[in-house]
Amino acid sequence: MARINFQRFLDLMAQQAEIGATPEGGLNRPALSEMDIRARQWLFERATAAGLEVAMDGAGNQRVMLRANDPDAQTLLIGSHLDSVPNGGRFDGALGVVAGLEVLLTLKDSGAELPFHVEVVNFTDEEGTLRGLLGSSAMTGTLTAEGLPNVRGGADALQEGLSRLGLSSETLLNARRDFANVMGYLEVHIEQGTRLEQAGINIGVVTSIVGVRSYWLTLTGEAAHAGTKPMADRRDALWGAAHLIQQARELVLQYFQPGVVNFGSIHAEPGAFNIVPAEVRLALEFRHGDPEKLDAMQTALFNVIRRSATEFNLEVEITPAGLIPPAPMAEPMVQLVEQAASGLGLSHTRLMSFAGHDAQSLANVTPSVMFFVPSVRGISHNPAEYSTPQDCINAAEVMLQAVLGLADR
């Protein structure tokens, strides 16, 4: 059985972690920053030095290719991202790209002849310093010109970042790839949670990347003197908000696990000690991997919200603030990863990904799968993020066996 060169692989992991390293042991490598661009140079240099082919598309996505003998062969994609959140960790994204590179190096060393091209992609701005899933959206054709002026990092920062690579909005919007010759997509990532660690399992095979729905809730009652207005006569918007937060929490815990709900932001007007709140604005977000359960969750949550409003004599307005559909992984690809893990004697389980990943863009256009390795204490987007060397090695080994397994099918 072919195995990766684990010393070379850990050395590559250490090298990438030096680029943008922070004193706390993390990484500060936001998309298209100076450090991100240095990481990109490093990736291309290592690939070129090993005789691999490299290319960059109009979205800045980096492609490192191991060609099959047949130029008309299909292509298997392996991807993740080298960018980090500001002051993030050394594993998030980088593990997937470096594991992919190590797989290509191992395959090249072994002289194995695969019936397909294998291509590793470093996607631009997965983390959202600029827009989030920027490169994978552009490549899969879901990025549109309309959204660009309102990207979360600002339109100017996006232009500036692209220009550092000699790119522009025009090249970005024309980066759509033809997926007719792509046979599938594989991605490995740290879990960013504690399910694998708590269960003592090596590999989590993702069956779905959860859908995320965000809404602004506005509850409107009536401002009143907090002394003279009897409590029974108040229309206190914060009472309604407090009630619905509790009800929503209990609803999801009881009926929609492993779905999750969050109220991340709250604001009360007019906002004084001695005035009964007239209006509360509340950020609601909920996630589920199953499209039907996500719909049912929305119906039940909206019922809870409306019942709370009625109970406290408030008006309520529910305004959409974002909608990411669930991205189910392809069952044959899920089984491919399970077989690869089993073949290596690694334990594995199926789970949903509650965070977004480039795989959710790819799942729209090609059979895709993600898998996770454990994160110590689930710490993520933080310099203390950590996965053990053995878990990192497992990531690359399973990836290699999955690629080889696909060649055997």
- Binding positions for a second copy, rule: CB under 8 A: 191-195, 210, 212, 214, 225-233, 236, 238-239, 241-243, 245-246, 249, 252-253, 257-258, 260-268, 271-277, 280, 283, 285, 287, 321-322, 353-356, 378, 380-381
User: Whole-number minimum distance, CB 277 to a second copy, in Å?
Assistant: 6
The token duo for 11 is: 């050395």
Contact criterion met (CB below 8 Å) for 171 and 286: no
In the 8-state DSSP scheme, what is residue 307? H
Residue 374 CA, distance from chain mean position: 16
Q: How far apart are CA 338 and CA 408, in angstroms?
A: 15
Please give the angle made by the CA atoms of 335, 337 and 342, to the nearest 5 degrees.
90
Q: CB-wise, 135 or 193, nearer to a second copy?
A: 193
Q: CB-wise, 7 or 257, nearer to a second copy?
A: 257
Most distant CA pair in the chain, distance: 84
Q: CB-wise, 280 or 362, nearer to a second copy?
A: 280
Q: How far apart are CA 277 and CA 226, in angstroms?
A: 9
Residue 294 CA, distance from chain mean position: 18
User: Whole-number minimum distance, CB 66 to a second copy, in Å?
Assistant: 32
Backbone angles phi and psi of 341, in degrees to 5? -65, -45
Q: CB-wise, 55 or 272, nearer to a second copy?
A: 272
User: Whole-number minimum distance, CB 287 to a second copy, in Å?
Assistant: 5
Q: How far apart are CA 277 and CA 11, in angstroms?
A: 57
User: Whole-number minimum distance, CB 224 to a second copy, in Å?
Assistant: 8
Q: CB-wise, 165 or 209, nearer to a second copy?
A: 209
Query: Which run of H or of E encompasses 378?
Result: none
User: Whole-number minimum distance, CB 96 to a second copy, in Å?
Assistant: 16
Q: How far apart are CA 48 and CA 285, in angstroms?
A: 44
3-state secondary structure 126-191: CCCCCCCCHHHHHHHCCCCHHHHHHCCCCHHHHHHHHHHCCCCHHHHHCCCCCCCCEEEEEEEEEC
Q: CB-wise, 71 or 320, nearer to a second copy?
A: 320
User: Whole-number minimum distance, CB 249 to a second copy, in Å?
Assistant: 6
State the CB neighbour count (10 A cutoff) for residue 60.
27
Q: CB-wise, 67 or 229, nearer to a second copy?
A: 229
User: Whole-number minimum distance, CB 23 to a second copy, in Å?
Assistant: 21
Contact criterion met (CB below 8 Å) for 396 and 99: yes
Q: CB-wise, 71 or 230, nearer to a second copy?
A: 230
Contact criterion met (CB below 8 Å) for 79 and 96: yes
User: Whole-number minimum distance, CB 315 to a second copy, in Å?
Assistant: 19
